[in-house]
Structure 1
Amino acid sequence: MKKMIAEFIGTFTLVLFGCGAAVIAGADGTTGIGLAGISFAFGFALIGMAYGIGPVSGCHINPAVSLGAVAAGRMQVGEAVQYIAAQISGAIAAALVLLTIATGKADYSVAINGLGQNGWGAGYLGEYNMAAAFLFELVATFLFVVVILGATGKGAPAAMAGLAIGITLVVIHLVGIKVTGVSVNPARSIGPALFAGGHAISQLWLFIVAPVLGAVAAGFLFKAGLLDQAE
């Protein structure tokens, strides 16, 4: 139960502060924090939680990470299912809180301003096509999980793991926000999409399938011993 509570709180924090940076603090660099600021919000939220709940649950706060850990042989399927349920619940709760806060501003509309949901295509940020969006999410999640599994593996400096993982998430956002808004985390995508509705729901499949495939591929490399620490 402690692990599930930790994963709920961790995912809640990531979604509230990461998506909140986009919705409340603003993507316009002239009047808000800009895309770089949003990138750092996601990364710093993860770093904080890595040290806050890492000793309790490992701070997965991402279904793709949990499934990557299963593929790597570091986690049982049953426990991963419990983690994923807690993560998705935390993301949905955070999206609801963010929506409630955002609607406190008179001119806010979820249909117009969004809720930090992911997407692609016409009308969405850089207007990249579906193939570009899928490839980015697949490769970015693969590399993200490689860093996570490597930084938390035997022989890795444990004190630096949270920092390395958080910085990687910042870099992924710096590169990919214009492409998909950056998911690499199905829970992070599910929460906002449920309240944004419509287009966000119809595109949600990509932000589940691509991150899971990328994470599992990374996990299999560690399971096969191809990325294990040299003896």
Structure 2
Amino acid sequence: MSELGATPTTAQKAAAEAIGTFVLVLLGCGSIVYAREVGAISTTTTIALAFGLAMVVMVHAFGRVSGGHFNPATTLATALSGRLAWREVPAYVGAQLAGAVAGAAVLLGLAQGFAGFEAGSGLAQNSFGDQGSGYAAWAAFTLEMLLTAVVVGVVLAATDARQEHRALAPVVIGLSLAAGYFVALPATGASLNPARSIGPGLLSGTDAVLQLWLFVLAPLLGAAVAGLAYPMIFGHDAEPVAGSGVPRRARPVRRASRRRSSRTAGSGTRWPTSGARSTRRRPRVARA
């Protein structure tokens, strides 16, 4: 049992990310699947709010543990902006993907309660072109990239340590996600989150799997833009976490060559070596 007030362990953070992403996929995608199967009226507003409210609840519940990402794109931006060490990124992303697949699997199992339901008929997977609304691939890519950059930028701003109203961060983040869904749902089914797309996509047949590349690359690219731009424009809210930010190659240390040493020996510059004593004599002081 961890001590009261102790920093969450990596395992605890991963558990929080897995649970949060699981709920996001189950509730958000479930709002689409159930409404379609029973013939209920499901609108862009109801679906967007299902995803947005699920995010509000999960960020409020688990934000103190892991930061409440539930999205590989948010994790990438957080690491690039200096708030998360890169060594923790694999645990976050792995947990998010596991939670998303588990959420889609549970939804698939529950949907078997409807006679004749098949995964291919839809688990709220994302799509473009002929497999979806007919929206062109280049336009879908641009839309997903831009909207993800906006939503992730809001996440970074709402959780900034200098923000006076950080208590409202869960609500602000959830509303920004819902707003993004208002726009993208009719065109692509709205991803803005690679995990949200991978979970249902893997269980929805070959066509859905073949289109996953767009809903992975576009959100990650948008998140990278937001993660790099935010600290450049607004500065860091605190000292960057060790091992975060843009990885830089260490400059190799050049060793002074003997040739250089011999040239500089008579100029008054010395290149001392460890353990060696200087043989240079001190100037004599004339006595009166």
TM-score by length of 1: 0.94
1:6, CA displacement in angstroms? 0.4
Name which one, 1 or 2, has greater alpha-carbon Rg. Answer: 2
| Deviation per residue, 1:6-40 (Å, 9 max, x gap) | 00000000000000001112399x83332211110
Instruction: Confirm or deny that 1:136 pairs with 2:143.
Output: yes
Higher RCO (CA-CA < 8 Å; seq separation 6+): 1
Correspondence for 2:174: 166
**Which 4+ residue blocks in structure 1 deviate beyond 6 angstroms?**
none
Instruction: Confirm or deny that 1:36 pairs with 2:50.
Output: no
1:115, CA displacement in angstroms? 0.4
Instruction: Confirm or deny that 1:25 pairs with 2:39.
Output: no
| Deviation per residue, 1:142-192 (Å, 9 max, x gap) | 001110000000221111111011001111111110111111100111100
Correspondence for 1:227: 234
Question: Contact between 2:59 and 2:68, CA under 8 Å: does it hold in 1?
Answer: yes
Distance 1:46 1:68, change over 3 A: same
Distance 1:220 1:205 in 2: 23
Distance 1:2 1:182 in 2: 29
Question: Contact between 1:3 and 1:56, CA under 8 Å: does it hold in 2?
Answer: yes
Distance 1:129 1:80 in 2: 32
Instruction: Confirm or deny that 1:76 pairs with 2:78.
Output: no
Distance 1:182 1:72 in 2: 25
1:5, CA displacement in angstroms? 0.6
1:111, CA displacement in angstroms? 1.7
Distance 1:27 1:162, change over 3 A: farther
TM-score by length of 2: 0.76
Which range moved further: 74-83 or 6-15? 74-83
Give the number of the structure whose residues are more often helix, by fraction: 1
| Deviation per residue, 1:59-86 (Å, 9 max, x gap) | 0000000000011011111101110000
Correspondence for 1:3: 13
- Size of the alignment, in residue pairs? 226
Matched residue SS, 2:234: coil
Q: Pick the aligned partner of 1:15 from 8, 22, 25.
A: 25
Matched residue SS, 2:129: coil
Matched residue SS, 1:216: helix
**Runs of 5+ consecutive residues of structure 1 not aligned to the other structure:** none
Distance 1:128 1:110 in 2: 23
Q: Pick the aligned partner of 1:100 from 106, 109, 113.
A: 109
Distance 2:37 2:68 in 1: 27
- Name the % identity: 42
Distance 1:70 1:27 in 2: 40
Correspondence for 2:8: none
**Runs of 5+ consecutive residues of structure 2 not aligned to the other structure:** 1-10, 238-288
Distance 1:31 1:20 in 2: 13
Distance 1:27 1:107 in 2: 10
